[in-house]
Amino acid sequence: MEQDIERATLWFLTARGMAAASGDIAVDSQPSAAGLFAQAVLGLSEDACIEGKSATRINRLSLIDCLSGVAALPPEIQEKFLTGALMIALLDRRMDAAEVRWASVLASAMRLSTQRVEECCLGARILTDMLHPVTRTS
Amino acid sequence: MEELSANFGFLEALDRRLSKLGKQAENYVHSDPEACLFKLRLMVEMMASTLARVTLGNALPPELGVTLGELERRGVLPRHEADNMHAIRRDGNSAVHGGIAPASTAMRRLKDAHSLSFWYCQSMTHSQGQERPEFQVPKRPIAEFGVDSQVAAAETLEDQIEQRRRRTREALLLFANAEDRATITKRYRDELDGLDAVAATAGELSIDAETMALIMALELEQLLEHPAFGQVSRNARREAELQLNAVKRRLDEQELTFREARERLTNENF
């Protein structure tokens, strides 16, 4: 359970980093996307998600802590994290420099190859299609 | 002095035990339908027993069903009243043996018992022509704070469902409702600016921002082509290219800023 809570903290921190980079637009269009991803793809429970993003846990960590945390994750989990972060970036069908930078520093921290990053981005696009969010202009 | 039953008070003068059973059945009809049916069955048993004693002498059949049949056969019990008594007997038996009785069934039988009691009272007192009092539907017991017990139970259940729903939503959201989202987001943005500066200065280990932008732009084009958003391929590609170029410009600006800063530093020191 504790490992799941720590993973939830790390995931929501990763997602918040991307949401902040996107200027919140992506999150406003699909406010539940990060939580859905946590439960459906990362397999985290509701309890782990709630405890993981409790202020006492998540607010004591910075994005640098997040980078060192994701670097220590198993490779298959790292790829899921990057897929989720890219999904949040693509939700509004726009790409901003800050989003690109957060994605690239995450991928670098995970030491992922270009091919792996391409696969993650493809997965993110498919998930984004499934979530069917509104566009920024609509 | 105990208040008389609204529906069975008229039995008081004839048989206090019947009046009491009727009142108890009224009290239980909403909260405990099985107990209500049990009390009604006792009422019917007492009525049948008295009728049998009066008409059949001491030769009382052991079973209530048989007694009722005998009373009906001898013309003591009219068909309608016999049917009502049998119905109460059956539902009462079922309730005694653990059957689940809805309040609606108990209410129906209570109404039957009211009608039956009036007939019984008239038969035993040999009075005819009186108008039968209208059946008064017993009010639901009032729980604490003036809320009906069943309504209160439903509200408790609704509260539990709502609590569950709130928890599910809380688990899904990126930020909790109570969090100061603007302050937290600003903190992350400041951190991102710092990371941006470090990455632009020191470079990135395995994948740089420009490569990442290209990969994202390719998927973005696919997204914009999606039928739900209806952009034709050419426009989707153009839009993705525009966004890619905007990101590249921003990265170039950062690179330029970094180079200028380094040049300034070099000129100042050497």
> Cα–Cα distance between A51 and A42 in angstroms, integer?
15
Judged by CB atoms closer than 8 Å, whether chains meet at A97 and B220 is answered as no
- Please determine, for residue A116, whether its predicted confidence score (pLDDT) is greater than 50: yes
Q: Which of residues 60-119 of A touch B (CB under 8 A)?
A: 62-64, 86, 89-90, 93-105, 107-114, 117-118
- B36: pLDDT strictly greater than 70: yes
Q: Chain B partners of A62 at a C-beta cutoff of 8 Å?
A: 191
State what percent of residues in chain B have pLDDT above 90: 27
Residue B19 has pLDDT above 70, yes or no: yes
pLDDT tens-place string over residues B46-76: 999 998 888 877 666 778 888 888 888 888 8
* CA dist., res. A23 & res. B213, Å (int): 17
pLDDT of B242 reads 92
Element (H, E) at A67: helix A63-71
Q: What are the chain B neighbours of A38 within 8 Å (beta carbons)?
A: 171
Q: Least CA distance to A127: which residue of chain B? A: B223
Q: What share of chain B is helix, strand, coil (3-state, %, to 5)?
A: 70, 0, 25
Q: Tell me how far apart the alpha carbons of residues B203 and B206 are, in angstroms, rounded to a whole number.
A: 9
Please indicate whether, in this complex, the C-beta atoms of B173 and A31 are within 8 angstroms of each other.
Answer: yes
Mapping DSSP to helix (H, G, I), strand (E, B) and coil, where does residue B268 land?
helix
Q: B199–A118: do the CB atoms touch at under 8 Å?
A: no
CATH architecture of B9-139: Up-down Bundle (1.20)
Cite the beta strand spans of chain A per DSSP E.
Answer: none
Inter-residue contact A45 to A14 (CB < 8 Å): no
Alpha helices of B74-175 — where are they, by DSSP H?
Answer: 79-96, 103-125, 149-172
Closest-CA residue of chain B to A59: B184
Residues with Cβ < 8 Å from A11, sequence gap 6 or more?
A34, A37, A38, A42, A44, A52, A81, A84
ipTM of the complex: 0.88
Task: Return d(Cα B112, Cα B40) in angstroms, integer.
Answer: 10
B148 has which bridge partners? B142
Cβ of B169 within 8 Å of Cβ of A53? The answer is no
The answer to whether the CB atoms of A97 and B250 lie below 8 A apart is yes
Which amino acid makes up residue A93? R
- Is residue A80 over pLDDT 90? yes
* A93, pLDDT greater than 50: yes
The verdict on A125 touching B (C-beta cutoff 8 Å) is yes
CATH fold for the domain made of A2-131: TerB-like (1.10.3680)
Check if A16 contacts B (Cβ < 8 Å).
Answer: yes
The distance in angstroms from the start CA to the end CA of chain A is 41
- B199 sits in which H/E element: helix B181-202
Task: Give the start-to-end residue ranges of the domains of chain B.
Answer: 9-139, 142-172, 204-269
Asked if the model's pLDDT at residue B227 lies above 60, the reply is yes
* Residue of A62, A94, A104 lying closest to B243 (CB–CB): A94
